[in-house]
Amino acid sequence: MATLLHIDSSINGENSFSRKVTATYAEEWRKANPDGTYIYRDLGADPIPHMTALAYGAQNTDPAEHDPEQAKAWELTGTIHAEVDAADVILLGAPMYNFSIPSTLKAWLDRIASQKYAAGPDGRSALSDKKLIVATARGGSYAPGTPRESFEHQEPYLRSFFTFLGLTDDVHFLHTEMTLSHVVPALEQFKHIFEATSEQAHGRARELAGAVG
């Protein structure tokens, strides 16, 4: 039975464009996998605490060897690892915040960056057979050839992170750009970019969820 782990991180609730794309994927995936298991985590509404030395030590130590303090610090990380272990598909909603990802999503990444998942010399890990879908939303545009192309530290960062964890084979980025063209008058002229990228992201989400046709 397939499992989808869906994680959103936008602070914008129902006005979020990244959430709209992850919702499209999740809805279509659930139609295509009626007996599948669906796990949802909302880092925007319910952030996880930042990493501590104790939690970091605990996640890089065999749980059988935890002292009582480490065992307590491990509880949340253990739940996050169980969700990741169960997932066949990891679906991330990742707004662009200051040219990168929200700190809430970074806090989640810090929990899974452990020896348990680190890729071996062959580049493989326990995560290698999973599918990763990342729906981003950006106020501007960072597409190849645009003036801000080199400011794009979202997809390159996430690709590096998941390569470190051995997840490289089945990775897809769906970008919705120029989301601020609705609210910033100077960007109104770029609404067509928002419309085109939004349509493309939702279409690709449906396709990847196996619901096209």
Here's the x/- map for ligand FMN, 55-84, by CB under 6 A: it reads as ------------------------------
82-101: contacts with ligand FMN (CB under 6 A): 95-99
Q: Minimum Å distance from CB 95 to ligand FMN?
A: 3
Contact between 107 and 51 under an 8 Å Cβ cutoff? The reply is yes
- Is 10 marked as a binding-site residue? yes
In the complex with ligand FMN, the residue whose CB is nearer, 8 or 77, is 8
Contact between 152 and 113 under an 8 Å Cβ cutoff? The reply is no
Is the Cα torsion angle 109, 96, 102, 132 positive or negative in sign? negative
Here's the x/- map for ligand FMN, 14-53, by CB under 6 A: it reads as --xxxx----------------------------------
Which parts of 37-161 are beta strand (E)?
37-42, 89-95, 131-137
Which parts of the chain are beta strand (E)?
3-8, 37-42, 89-95, 131-137, 171-176
- Is 181 marked as a binding-site residue? no
Residue 166 binding ligand FMN, by CB under 6 A: no
Please give the DSSP secondary-structure letter assigned to residue 116. T
What are the CA-CA distances from residue 111 to residues 49, 50, 76, 177, 179 (Å)?
10, 9, 9, 29, 30
Q: Which residues contact 136 (CB under 8 A, 6 or more apart)?
A: 18, 94, 95, 96, 154, 155, 173, 174, 175, 176
- Is 17 marked as a binding-site residue? yes
Residue 12 binding ligand FMN, by CB under 6 A: yes
- Is 98 marked as a binding-site residue? yes
170-199: contacts with ligand FMN (CB under 6 A): 179-180
Rounded to 5°, angle at Cα 201 from 196 and 202:
105
In the complex with ligand FMN, the residue whose CB is nearer, 99 or 157, is 99
Here's the x/- map for ligand FMN, 124-153, by CB under 6 A: it reads as -------------xxxx-------------
Residues near ligand FMN (CB under 6 A) are 10, 12, 16-19, 95-99, 137-140, 179-180
Q: Which residues are annotated as a binding site?
A: 10, 16-18, 96-99
Q: Which residues are annotated as a binding site for FMN?
A: 10, 16-18, 96-99
